[in-house]
Copies of this chain bind each other. A is one copy, B any other.
């Protein structure tokens, strides 16, 4: 049987849906895959399928190469075996740039100027070469909320500046966040227990839908596969290694074809001592074996950083471990791990009683600027306990804080920065003049200085004598950019108005 399918866009999900046995436990018993072949490029890929209940099976494939792809299925159930078909993959359009990858992987094969490889090591890129800078947020359990809250979350995200979201598969049990979800990932119930070998299809259909909706909004789904905030009646944090791996294999087979998926193996792995370091490594191997697209992978800490030098980890996903010195540590972590650094928990805007969730919007915004200008990436969260039923960080819903608009302002400024900007501390331009200011630089042509909580009346900026430069005074809190009249060389006297959270940008114009 050969079925011709409608055309699929590059990097989007091509799905084969089949019907087969529902006898026994197909989740465990049926082994299904499909081989895909592109006659134009000669490329061949095999991807694993998954069961979805009631005799229904799916295989999801994300084509990168354009042209006609043919496929044939393989299965230990004869009704699923040998199904063939084809579809045409057409060029990506609009906002579709494919997966987010390590910049070094995207640029592989490109001849780079000396030093550029080192800089690329700390960056991400869409697979079509478009730069990607994560400006993430956090809604741990948003897909475990009621339908209307989920819809509201998506509406909020559509207006927000975020292009990545940290989200769990399993529900979360923690302060202000103790309700049972309407659906669970497994068949069974809290009263009678869950069957860790039978997934609950409606739960995953909702997750499919939500991940696709995030993709449509241009938001990467940083999926937290396991986490410690569990309750005994749920028990998803302590299923044992075999069930963990059964689950991880299923998740990878079901979601790897979504271009906007990242794998975060754990939130706060160190609060799950029941899982060893070696467990995490083999969990990663299970996911990698079922993810032919090599999506980004990391693991997140509470108090003890994981060793991000381990080869299965593509980037750092860090929670600050000091109350005061937070995203400033990006400089250290870059040196320590030589991978992109995302500070996924720098502390959150809000008024909860814990120090991780009672930052002013000013401090939250400051941590973004510090981290980004040091060559890292920072993730937002919000935990106001007196502004409505939902707390964004756990439930989603509405945003109430003042930092998101400022984060968007920073994002817009960084989007305009030259491609080769680096933290000045890592360049020959580093100078004692900059001990108290965080600076990104592109050679001597473009610089962005951030003064953080320091409040100066003015500062004389040192400029090269050769060339002419424009000087922009940026109020990162009030989101204004004021260009000083004329152009400057040698020195520019910059009035900073004794205000905190100021930045200065200089650009060579002649």
Contacts and interface: CB of A to CB of B under 8 A. Distances in A.
Contacts of A352: 456-457
A323 B435 contact: yes
Contacts of A322: 325, 328
Interface in A421-458: 435-437, 451-458
A355 interface: yes
A225 to B, nearest CB: 26
A457 B355 contact: no
Interface stretch (A74-82, A241-249, A358-366): A358-366
A351 interface: yes
A363 B451 CA distance: 14
A436 B355 CA distance: 5
B456 A353 contact: yes
A385 interface: yes
Contacts of A360: 453, 455, 500
Contacts of A358: 454-457, 498
B356 A436 contact: yes
Q: Is the interface of A mostly helix, strand, loop or mixed?
A: loop
Contacts of A500: 360
A207 to B, nearest CB: 33
A356 B453 CA distance: 12
B386 A353 contact: no
Contacts of A458: 353
A354 B436 contact: yes
A378 B316 CA distance: 36
Contacts of A278: none
Contacts of A435: 323, 355
Interface in A346-381: 351-356, 358-360, 363
Query: Which of A358, A437, A457 has most chain B Cβ within 10 Å?
Result: A358
A304 to B, nearest CB: 13
Give the interface size class of chain A. Answer: 20 to 34
Contacts of A354: 436
A114 interface: no
A459 interface: yes
Interface in A311-359: 322-325, 328, 351-356, 358-359
A460 interface: yes
B324 A324 contact: yes
Contacts of A351: 455-457, 498
A385 B496 CA distance: 13
Interface in A456-489: 456-460
A358 to B, nearest CB: 4
Contact of A323 (B323, B436, B457): B436
Given A435-B355, A436-B355, A437-B355, A457 B324 contact: no
A23 to B, nearest CB: 51
A60 B453 CA distance: 49
A385 B459 CA distance: 12
Given A436-B355, A436-B356, A386 B457 contact: yes
A476 to B, nearest CB: 16
A233 to B, nearest CB: 25
A492 to B, nearest CB: 12
Contacts of A328: 322-325
B355 A459 contact: no
A356 to B, nearest CB: 7
Given A454-B358, A454-B359, A353 B459 contact: yes
B457 A385 contact: yes
A355 B359 CA distance: 22
A467 B13 CA distance: 65
B323 A324 contact: no
A218 B360 CA distance: 40
Query: Which of A324, A451, A452 has most chain B Cβ within 10 Å?
Result: A324
A436 B500 CA distance: 24
Contact of A454 (B355, B385, B454, B456): B355
Interface in A384-427: 385-386
A457 B359 contact: no
Given A351-B498, A358-B457, A386-B498, 16 more contacts: A322-B325, A322-B328, A323-B435, A323-B452, A324-B328, A351-B455, A351-B456, A351-B457, A352-B456, A353-B460, A354-B436, A355-B451, A359-B455, A360-B453, A385-B457, A386-B457
Interface of A: 322-325, 328, 351-356, 358-360, 363, 385-386, 435-437, 451-460, 498, 500
13 contacts: A322-B325, A325-B325, A352-B456, A352-B457, A353-B459, A354-B436, A355-B436, A355-B451, A355-B454, A359-B453, A359-B455, A360-B455, A360-B500
